[in-house]
Amino acid sequence: MKMGIIGVGSVGSAIAMAAASRARVREVVLVDRNRARAKAVATDMHYGEALSPLVTIRDGDYVDLADAGLAVITAGINEKAGGATDRSDPAGRLRLLDANVAVFRDIVPRLVKAAPQAVIVVATDPPEPLADVARHLAGHDRIVDAGTYLDSLRFRLHIAERLGVGPDSVEANVVGEHGTSSVFLWSSARIGGMPVRELLGRRKIEFATFRKDVEQDVRFANITIIEGIGASQYGIGMVCARIAEVILGDERAVFPVGSYNPRFGTTVSLPSIVGRQGVIEVLEPEMSDDERQGLERGAARLRETVGKYLSR
Q: Which amino acid type is present at position 117? A: Q
The residues facing 256 across adjacent strands are: 271
Q: Determine how many CB atoms are found less than 10 A away from the CB of residue 82.
A: 17
Alpha-carbon distance 122 to 116, whole Å? 16
Name the nearest CA neighbour of 108 among 56, 58, 65: 65
Q: Is residue 240 within 8 Å of residue 20, measured between CB atoms?
A: no
| Catalytic status, residue 178 | yes
Q: How many degrees, rounded to 5, is the angle at CA 100 between CA 65 and CA 276?
A: 40
Catalytic residue among 136, 140, 158, 178: 178
Q: How many degrees, rounded to 5, is the angle at CA 171 between CA 18 and CA 182?
A: 75
Alpha-carbon distance 174 to 271, whole Å? 9
Alpha-carbon distance 110 to 117, whole Å? 13
End-to-end CA distance of the chain: 36
Catalytic residues: 178
